[in-house]
Amino acid sequence: MGGPDGTAGPPFTDGAARIRIDERSAAGLVPAAVPVPPEEVIREATAAAQRLRHYDLSGEPSFDPLRNKRFGWQLVRRAALFGLVGLVVDLVIFLFLLLVAAVTRSLAVLGLDSIVGFLVLIGVVVAYLFMPVPALLSQWSRLLGHRAGIADTAFQYIGQALERHATPYDSFRPKTFLLPGDGTRQYLELRRGVFACYISCFRHGRDLYIGWSLWIYMSPFRLVMMRIGRQIQNWSGRGNDIHQTLRYESTRATVGAVHACMLEGVDVAIRMSDPEAELVGGETSFSIS
């Protein structure tokens, strides 16, 4: 099942996911698909996931990249980092040219420093403009005691739940990250517009950790284009606070769907392993702050 834009969907076919986060995947082995849950199990898990005691998507930080303070500071941080890298590269090149000038006993070679420095500046500016900058909007997590055994199946059932609900996305796929001090770990990555959502589901000792995090993920160049477009909208009367607030309601809905589907997937995995177990859906707070 693909996304609404016609792109190919993730490897969740025939009711069984084909991605895993265990050692078999790390070893390059083909994992066995998890069993297809009965319809009554899916219905019960869906109902439980929808009974949320608290559901709040209000307050800062703003979903609007032009108004989000965290994203603004990340842009400043990236600019400072790239500026420092440019200075270091320029200094290394100057020292190299100085060494060459000392060896050849000719100062003419130092004239190349200004040309090389200009090229380095252009390279740094281009890289800064077009490399996406991530900024955390919100995150939610929970640790389920003594549920490590369902980590692999829960991860796959979460993907199945998102497919069953036809949650809109531009791309949806498993993605592996190399985490400093923690090795490699696989996440579900859902992209829509300038937002990225990462779903976590892994063993933590004997417990099961589940969670998601929502990010603004866009380049400074795209931000500039957004600013220009926003100005045009202001001139046409479509740039007031009503328009700018309502335009991100679909993103809020996507986050809510990710949250509900994640609980549903975990609940299905729990019921498949222990039908009498208490489900996690309906006992979870959900807030963006």
Q: pLDDT tens for residues 167-201?
A: 999 999 999 999 888 889 999 999 999 999 999 99
CA–CA dist 42, 269 (Å, integer): 10
Please check whether residues 165 and 49 belong to one and the same domain: yes
Residue 210 domain boundaries? 12-66+135-287
Count how many domains the chain has: 2
What is the average pLDDT across 86-105? 87
Residue of 242, 140, 274, 253 lying closest to 201 (CA atoms): 140
Please check whether residues 35 and 60 belong to one and the same domain: yes
Tell me whether residue 4 is in a domain.
no
Please check whether residues 269 and 191 belong to one and the same domain: yes
Please check whether residues 220 and 160 belong to one and the same domain: yes
Token code pair at residue 2? 């693909």
Please check whether residues 230 and 267 belong to one and the same domain: yes
Q: Which of the listed residues 106, 130, 154 is the one where a domain comes to its end?
A: 130
Element (H, E) at 269: helix 249-273
CA–CA dist 167, 7 (Å, integer): 14
Contacts of 63 (CB under 8 A, 6+ apart): 137, 195, 248, 251, 252
Please check whether residues 76 and 198 belong to one and the same domain: no
Higher-confidence position of 108 and 7: 108
Tell me whether residue 227 is in a domain.
yes
Q: Which of the listed residues 130, 153, 179 is the one where a domain comes to its end?
A: 130
Calculate what percentage of the chain has a pLDDT beyond 70: 74
Tell me whether residue 248 is in a domain.
yes
Please check whether residues 247 and 164 belong to one and the same domain: yes
- Rounded to two decimals, what is the model's pTM? 0.75
